[in-house]
Amino acid sequence: MSAEFAELDTPSWVSAILDQFEKAKFFDETDVAGQIYAAAKEIESPTAEEKKAADAECWAFNFYPQAPHELSEWKTHFGPAVVMGDFRNPDLAWIDQAVVKYWEKRMAVAKHPLLRARYAGLVWDLSKVACSLKAPIDAARITIDGYVAAAALADSDSAMQASDRLERGIQLAVSIRDTPRAEQARDALVDLFTRVNETWGWVTLYDFFEDSPKIKLTDAQRDAVVAGLEAHVTEVAGKPEGIDPGGSLHVAARLVRHYQRLSRQPDADRVVLACGKAAERFAATVDHTRAYFWLDQVFRFYRINGLDAEAELVQMKARRRGEQARGEAKPISADVEVPPDELEKFLTELTDGGLDTALQSIAGHFVPHLDTLRDRLKRFRKEFPMGTMWPIAKMAEGQMVGQIGSIDADPDGALLNAVADEIRHGKFFLEKSLDRLRERYSITADQIVDFLFESVAFTMGFRSIIHQGVEAYLAGDHPKAISLLVPQIENGLRFLLPLVGRPPNKPKRGNQPGMTEKTLTDILEYEPAIKEKFGEDAHLYMVAFLADSRGLNIRNRMCHGLMMEEDFNRWVSDRVLHTMLLLGMCRRKKAPAATPPEAKNFEESGGNHGEG
């Protein structure tokens, strides 16, 4: 550290701004930095010392405090406010001994509790990690005392900020084993929310002290918290119109835990029913889509709290509203112009080379490429950050059958959803490709079946059924084609299992005697050898199309009788035939003459079938 910056003094124009905040009530500390930064731009030719002191003030009030129980990337309470690649603002690398010593001086002379607490909090938090300096214990004490004093200045608008600082003060006091200060901060927190008297404040108090092993509420304080939560229950129970379950069920959950610890189950049940019935009343007044999701929350809440009879009644209500919600869904579509000459070129090239080659080309081309989809998801995440951070609920049969998280939180689910979207978006091109194949080669059911039976996935005992399914497809009888061929996809995959050293059957559930055949879900989800043989692209394609409720789930919906008449359509039938062609590419290896037939294995033509 150079002698020039051994000790920094506050410039007069910075002091003028700080004096304004000394007279304020509760304020947002970032406002201090904003005013100093704006004033600095008006100063012509400041000295190096003035600039560094002004920077030290701006940085002090720009560091971002983390939420309780969280740490910054530097393992500190205060972290950068802005992160862009390798850039941080403020950056820990900017903090040297001159800045820390300046903050230490300021924490002693500042009078407003928020100013005093901010300087002291930075000294305590950053001295060692930034400069290898040992922070004075007074820095922690001044921080705690400042937060306690500042809480008395807060009102309902600033109560959340004040509570965050008091929670930090309690944690600091516990860390330095200062029980009296921890209790002072606790009392200030209870006093704050008693003055504000809002439900979220009582919930905050309950949550913080429920998870705090060192500092507990007094009996009187705990009774006050319970009374505050009970006031919410009384309020919602008396509302004829009911209330959105989002907040009230959270309140009820805390009271349930409290009463169950005291072995007061009737009180726990009373709270659950009061808030649940209020949510049911409110759901009756809104559209079917919102009603379904709110009733689903109530169903789950009743169920986890052991109110099974009430849960079943709500389950039936939710199902009815979910079925009606289908009429509220608005389709989103966009017209895409395909130049005729480009389409013609695509169809000609895809079906060149003779019938067998064309069938293989179509089978390979219409498997989505996962690397391409991953790149697309990354681009969406960058270009539309808000639009990609929300989960997606999958609805079918009047109920939510699956949920896909955000791209960051659920990358596998987001990728599966992208595959399902790619299947839908590709239906025009697959339809045109299959039509061109039929026109070009006057294709018959016998020719398609002959191609399929070059594969080790199909056996002669099922040839007639497969032939009937293909005939139905060519005749446009799509309900029959789908109904006959989907089970043969499952059967074909099951027949491949012994060829990769895996049994096609499994023990019955519950240690019952006997065995049962593995289902399509068993094979695709729990047989990694199948994924390895087909490749990741083709494997996830089959999962999304056939066997996952977050995708199209065709096999399960068909086998359980959930597909309606309009679901047995041309584009689903096209995809079923395409999947059969995909299995048809599992050909026998050319084995030496001395190799016994049972030692032959199958190989997938073209490796990953997504490479068409």
Q: What is the pLDDT of residues 19-53, one digit of tens each?
A: 999 999 999 999 999 999 898 888 888 888 989 99
Q: Write the CA distances from 50 to 1, 36, 238, 368, 542, integer angstroms.
A: 17, 12, 62, 61, 67
Query: What letter does residue 326 receive in the DSSP assignment?
Result: G
As a whole number, mean pLDDT of residues 255-268 equals 96
As a whole number, mean pLDDT of residues 75-84 equals 93
Task: Please state, as a whole number, how many other Cβ atoms lie within 10 Å of the Cβ of residue 282.
Answer: 22
* Per-state percent for the chain, helix, strand, coil, to nearest 5: 65, 5, 30
The pLDDT, as a whole number, for residue 390 is 65
Q: How wide is the angle at C-alpha 167 spanned by C-alphas 164 and 169, nearest 5°?
A: 110
Per-residue confidence band for 386, with pLDDT thresholds at 50, 70 and 90: low
Distance of CA 476 to the CA centre of its chain: 41
CB neighbours of 100 closer than 8 A, spacing ≥ 6?
122, 123, 126, 127, 130, 131, 133
Q: At what angle do helices 137-151 and 159-175 cross, to 10 degrees?
A: 150
Q: Give residue-wise pLDDT tens across range 334-358.
A: 677 888 899 999 999 999 999 999 9
As a whole number, mean pLDDT of residues 266-295 equals 93
> Lowest mean pLDDT: which of 300-314, 511-525, 573-587?
511-525
CB-count burial class (<10 Å; 0-12, 13-18, 19+) for 222: middle
pLDDT at 611 exceeding the cut of 60:
no
> Lowest mean pLDDT: which of 317-326, 397-406, 600-609?
600-609
Please give the single-letter amino acid code of residue 74: W
Distance CA 51, CA 13 (A): 11
For tokens 């009815």, the residue is: 320
Residues constituting the chain: 612
The pLDDT, as a whole number, for residue 328 is 73
Q: Which two tokens stand for residue 21?
A: 């905040």
Radius of gyration of the chain (CA): 34
pLDDT at 395 exceeding the cut of 70:
no
> Lowest mean pLDDT: which of 252-256, 398-402, 556-560, 583-587?
398-402
- Of 16, 23, 9, 116, nearest to 61 by C-alpha is 116
Per-residue confidence band for 381, with pLDDT thresholds at 50, 70 and 90: confident
The pLDDT, as a whole number, for residue 276 is 95
Query: What letter does residue 568 receive in the DSSP assignment?
Result: S
Q: How many CA atoms lie within 13 A of 377 on its CB side?
A: 24
The pLDDT, as a whole number, for residue 23 is 93
Q: How wide is the angle at C-alpha 242 spanned by C-alphas 236 and 248, nearest 5°?
A: 50
> Lowest mean pLDDT: which of 396-400, 415-419, 545-549?
396-400
Q: Give residue-wise pLDDT tens across range 593-602.
A: 444 443 344 4
Q: Give residue-wise pLDDT tens across range 142-159.
A: 999 999 999 999 999 999
As a whole number, mean pLDDT of residues 449-462 equals 93
pLDDT at 591 exceeding the cut of 80:
no
CB neighbours of 42 closer than 8 A, spacing ≥ 6?
none
For tokens 């060192």, the residue is: 214
The 3-class SS string of 426-480 reads CHHHHHHHHHHHHHHHCCCHHHHHHHHCCECCCCHHHHHHHHHHHHHHHCCCHHH
Q: Phi-psi category of 249—alpha, beta or left, where left has phi over 0 and alpha has psi -120 to 50?
A: alpha
593-602 long-range Cβ contacts below 8 angstroms, 24+ apart: 601/499, 601/500, 602/455, 602/456, 602/457, 602/496, 602/499, 602/533
Q: Give residue-wise pLDDT tens across range 470-507.
A: 999 999 999 999 999 999 999 999 999 999 999 988 88
Instruction: With beta carbons less than 8 A apart as the criterion, state whether 522 and 509 touch.
Output: no
pLDDT at 279 exceeding the cut of 50:
yes
> What average pLDDT does the chain have?
89
Distance CA 358, CA 348 (A): 10
Phi, psi of 291 (to 5 degrees): -60, -40
As a whole number, mean pLDDT of residues 456-478 equals 95
For the chain, give the percent of residues with pLDDT over 70: 92
Torsion of the alpha carbons at 86, 91, 93 and 95, rounded to the nearest 10:
180
Per-residue confidence band for 450, with pLDDT thresholds at 50, 70 and 90: very high
Instruction: With beta carbons less than 8 A apart as the criterion, state whether 232 and 248 touch.
Output: yes
The pLDDT, as a whole number, for residue 589 is 65
Q: Which helix (H) or strand (E) holds 64?
A: strand 64-65
Per-residue confidence band for 603, with pLDDT thresholds at 50, 70 and 90: very low
Question: Is the alpha carbon torsion for 447, 452, 454, 459 positive or negative?
Answer: negative
**pLDDT, greater one: 66 or 336:** 66
Q: Write the CA distances from 384 to 83, 387, 424, integer angstroms.
A: 18, 5, 22
Q: Give residue-wise pLDDT tens across range 396-412.
A: 666 666 777 777 788 88
Distance CA 543, CA 523 (A): 10
CB neighbours of 38 closer than 8 A, spacing ≥ 6?
none
Instruction: With beta carbons less than 8 A apart as the criterion, state whether 536 and 370 touch.
Output: yes
